Amino acid sequence: MQLIGMFDSPYVRRVGVSLHLLDQPFGHQPLSVFSTYEAFSRINPVVKAPTLVCDGGEVLMDSTLILQWADTLGARRLAPAEPAALRRDLRLAGLALAACEKAVQIVYERNLRPPEKQHQPWLDRVQGQLAAAFATLEGEITRVPLVAQAPAMTHGSVATAVAWSFTQLLLPGQVSAEQHPQIAAFTEAAERLPAFQACQQV
């Protein structure tokens, strides 16, 4: 199978890291939805990253849906089997993906929209949502810490580390490590794992 998209996208990186953790071999085509739009569109006319081209030729998109399918491929799963653990992991993943979404919106507003057309009330709202997502995530991880070891990684923990690294890289100073020590420490340890090292965002 082939993963299409750049690892500077938290959604593409989430899939790449997860496939490594699942021991699922894959090829990677680092196509951009901006600079290589036409090449991307020949694989997936929707031009949505990540895109996964399965061995049978089917084209999947959306990181959560791709990973739902990837969890069925082998003995290892990243989704916890026990209902309470799964519920908590889905909560972590939801918060982390919300943080990703808001961080991406801020980046797009600042970098793609002309300055005279940027809308500060909208930015203020999105920045508040980003702060709320990470503050809530910090509280969850403080209550039940995450373990940065490959066998313990789940969809929620992968999404947490990817979201934090993406936000720190693209929006430095937006969300402070001092106010989120649990997320920062967990992400620092997770980034040393081979699965994360294999999918560097820069």
Report the CATH number at residue 32. 3.40.30.10
60 and 97 fall within a common domain: no
**What confidence score (pLDDT) does residue 36 get?**
98
Look at residue 166 and tell me if it is in a domain.
yes
On whether both 176 and 122 belong to a single domain, the answer is yes
Q: What is the pLDDT of residue 144?
A: 97
49: containing domain: 2-70
Domain count, the chain: 2
Detail the DSSP E strand segments found in the chain. Answer: 2-4, 27-29, 51-53, 59-61
pLDDT of residue 202: 80
Q: What is the pLDDT of residue 107?
A: 95
- For the record, the structure tokens of 128 come out as 């508040």
Residues 171, 91: one domain? yes
> Which residue's entry shows tokens 């294999």?
198
190: pLDDT confidence band, cut at 50, 70 and 90?
Answer: very high
CB atoms closer than 10 angstroms to residue 138: 19
- Within a domain: 78: no
Domain-embedded: residue 75: no
Q: Are residues 177 and 152 in the same domain?
A: yes
Residue 202 lies in a domain: no
Distance CA 60, CA 58 (A): 6
Confidence of residue 153 (pLDDT cuts 50, 70, 90): very high
